[in-house]
Amino acid sequence: MGGCGADPAPSAPPATAGSSTAAGSAGSPSPAGQASETPSETSSGGVSGDGTHSDNVTHLANVPLSAPLDGPQSWGTDLAFQGNHAFVGNFDGFSVFDISDPAHPSVTSQVLCPGEQNDISVSGDLLFLSIDSARNGPGCEEQRGEPESDGWEGIRIFDIKDKAHPKFVSAVRTDCGSHTHTLVPGEKPDRLYLYISSPGPEPMTTTCPSPHNKISVVEVPVAAPETAKVVSTPALSDKPSTSGIGGCHDITAYPEKDLAAAACFGDGILLDISDRVNPKVLQHVSDEENFAIWHSATFNNDATKVVFGDELGGGVSATCDSGTPKTKGANAVYDLTSARKLERRGYFKIPREQAADENCVAHNGSLLPVPGKDIMVQAWYQGGVSVWDFTDATAPKEIGFFERGPVQGVGGSWSAYYYNGHIYSSDITRGLDVLRIDDPLTDPAAKVTLKELNAQTQVSY
């Protein structure tokens, strides 16, 4: 799942970690945790109290960050969905929202479990978090460790059968930690696999030596998640990344097609994952002229295209001034041929120029299930949320947007995903936003209902 390629690393505030707060109980978020419906105007120009938007996009609701996850650096991160619930990662843990009424989402529970980023995914009764900062141990109560101390980093596993009271189950240490992870179903339903992505090497530790040219594969027995373990560490390259950073930032899997696309900082990699434990490299692609940090990937529905995003400047560097070329901090659209080869066709970047000190580069997004069309929604940090059409890979175009305008410092949309008729955006500093797009091109998507969505685990619509 997505995250900043060069994320800031705030210190976690001292706290009694691992606790969860159910909405309505002592310490529950109120009034900040109550969603406020703020419908946007749909007049030409599309300006509302919460920002600007295209005429076909409506801002339905916002749930601000709230205690115990509302510290000055408790930034919101990635999202996952299951039934009528949205799960939102946070640098200090995660929140569970009831989205049965998308215009009035409410907090079901919040779990305090510092670990930076907390990239998140869900499957059945299990929830997984990525930890990519040294801790003194795997438990939620553990404080930040020293980088040179070989502290614990990896995957934390929770039981979410009771959404109001998630429970920590176990953890798995992985080399170089886990910046992001991708959930990949096994051939049988009794096994899950997690593909762990992380940057490296880390010269000050013995747990992340050079060259860090691999990922970790964690096997999770569904009935006994406490026995989860690393089962392989496949190398994806025999040469240093063109960016100078090893490992991968993010991997998107399409299990039905036995394919995965890995964004590995300086390269894009196409993988055959028919053997879940031992993925095999099919092709490397690079774009040194235009791409700085290969951040994430998205297949179209029939796996004939792959979109790679460039997180130019990482999560904190401004890259939106008039001097930034439109091919930098953008998406590159590749055709995926029947011979399973990637061929670049075009680029897309949001057309609205931002303030000179803002960061508006490609971040996390997902497909809209529209038959015969290739349309996705995507986060662009301070550039907001964009809905764009890449059916014509040589001439992608934006068809809708929402953004709040200038943001001081770190902020903006980290992830924006389409789920069961609505767009959900995790805003780094302003919490969960709910949007709706009404457009003849996208309206068919509302007919598709999913039971779960982990955006980096694609399923066919």
Among the residue ranges 219-223, 266-270, 440-444, the one predicted with the least confidence is 266-270
User: Where are the domains positioned within the chain?
Assistant: 31-453
Residue 11: pLDDT over 80: no
The tally of CA atoms less than 13 A away on the side-chain side of residue 134 is 13
User: Which residue reads 């200038």 in tokens?
Assistant: 406
User: Which residue reads 């780094």 in tokens?
Assistant: 428
Return the number of other C-beta atoms located less than 10 Å from residue 166's C-beta: 25
Highest mean predicted confidence (pLDDT) among 4-18, 25-39, 79-93: 79-93
3-class state of residue 320 by DSSP: coil
Residue 194: pLDDT over 70: yes
Residue 170: pLDDT over 80: yes
Return the number of other C-beta atoms located less than 10 Å from residue 146's C-beta: 11
Q: What is the model's pLDDT at position 20?
A: 62
Distance, CA of 455 to CA of 453 (rounded, Å): 6
Q: How far apart are the first and last CA of the chain?
A: 20
In DSSP terms, which residues pair with 263 in a beta bridge?
Answer: 250, 268
Distance, CA of 311 to CA of 329 (rounded, Å): 5
**120, 114 contact by CB (below 8 A):** no
CA-based nearest residue to 347, from 323, 374, 329, 368 = 329
Residue 5: pLDDT over 50: no
- Cα–Cα distances (Å) from 402 to 156, 243, 431, in that order, read 33, 32, 15
CATH 3.30.1510.10 fits 31-453, yes or no: no
Residue 49: pLDDT over 70: no
Percent of the chain scoring above 70 in pLDDT: 88
Could you tell me how far CA 304 lies from the centroid of its own chain?
Answer: 22
Q: Which two tokens stand for residue 244?
A: 């100078």
Average pLDDT over residues 179-204: 94
Residue 243: pLDDT over 80: no
Residue 36: pLDDT over 90: no
Q: What is the model's pLDDT at position 127?
A: 98
Average pLDDT over residues 162-188: 97
Average pLDDT over residues 144-168: 91
Average pLDDT over residues 182-186: 98
Q: Which two tokens stand for residue 441?
A: 């091109």
Instruction: Indicate the average pLDDT of the chain.
Output: 88
Distance, CA of 299 to CA of 286 (rounded, Å): 17
Residue 25: pLDDT over 70: no
In DSSP terms, which residues pair with 400 in a beta bridge?
Answer: 387
Q: What is the model's pLDDT at position 31?
A: 28
- Cα–Cα distances (Å) from 94 to 117, 128, 205, in that order, read 10, 10, 28
Question: Residue ranges of the alpha helices (H) in 326-405?
Answer: none
Among the residue ranges 99-103, 207-211, 338-342, 392-396, the one predicted with the least confidence is 207-211
Average pLDDT over residues 247-266: 96
Q: Where are the extended beta strands (E) located within 198-275?
A: 216-221, 229-232, 250-254, 259-263, 268-272
Q: What is the model's pLDDT at position 148?
A: 66
3-class state of residue 248 by DSSP: coil
In DSSP terms, which residues pair with 259 in a beta bridge?
Answer: 254, 272
* Cα angle for residues 65, 429, 122 (degrees, 5° grid): 65
CA-based nearest residue to 63, from 14, 104, 101 = 104
Q: Which residue has the higher pLDDT, 119 or 20?
A: 119
Could you tell me how far CA 54 lies from the centroid of its own chain?
Answer: 24
Percent of the chain scoring above 90 in pLDDT: 72
Residue 21: pLDDT over 50: yes
